[in-house]
Amino acid sequence: MRRSALPRQLGDIEGFIKVVSDAQSGHLLGATLLCAGGAELIHRSIDLLNAHAPAAVIKNAVHIHPTLAEAVQGAVTKLG
């Protein structure tokens, strides 16, 4: 959360986002969001899990700036 613009702007940088994907297929396996807006942001992960989508869907998404969704994208980008 500390690396994302909106949480810094709001002064709410505590918490974290963890995204887990399958190393072979890249499919999203789960996500944990303990952060500001986490209760709303988790729904995008739930939708992708239900669609059996790869984590790259989040990684390659175009987000407006600044948003809390960018923090989720940052967590997925670290997956490699």
Total-model pTM: 0.70
Angle at 44 between CA 52 and CA 24, to 5 degrees: 35
The pLDDT assigned to 64 comes to 82
The contacts found for 16-21 with CB under 8 angstroms, 24 or more apart, are: 17/41, 17/71, 17/72, 17/74, 17/75, 18/75, 19/45, 19/55, 19/58, 19/72, 19/75, 19/76, 19/79, 21/54, 21/55, 21/76, 21/79
CATH code for position 17: 3.30.390.30
Q: Tens of pLDDT along 7-30?
A: 677 777 788 889 899 989 888 999
Measured in whole angstroms, the distance separating CA 65 from the mean position of its chain's CA atoms is 15
Among this protein's residues, is 65 annotated catalytic? Answer: yes
Annotated catalytic residue: which of 27, 52, 63, 65?
65
Give the Cα separation of 61 and 42 in Å (integer).
16
Residue type, 59: K
Of the pLDDT bands very low, low, confident and very high (cuts 50, 70, 90), residue 6 is low
Domain count, the chain: 1
**Residue-number span of the structural domain to which 26 is assigned:** 5-77
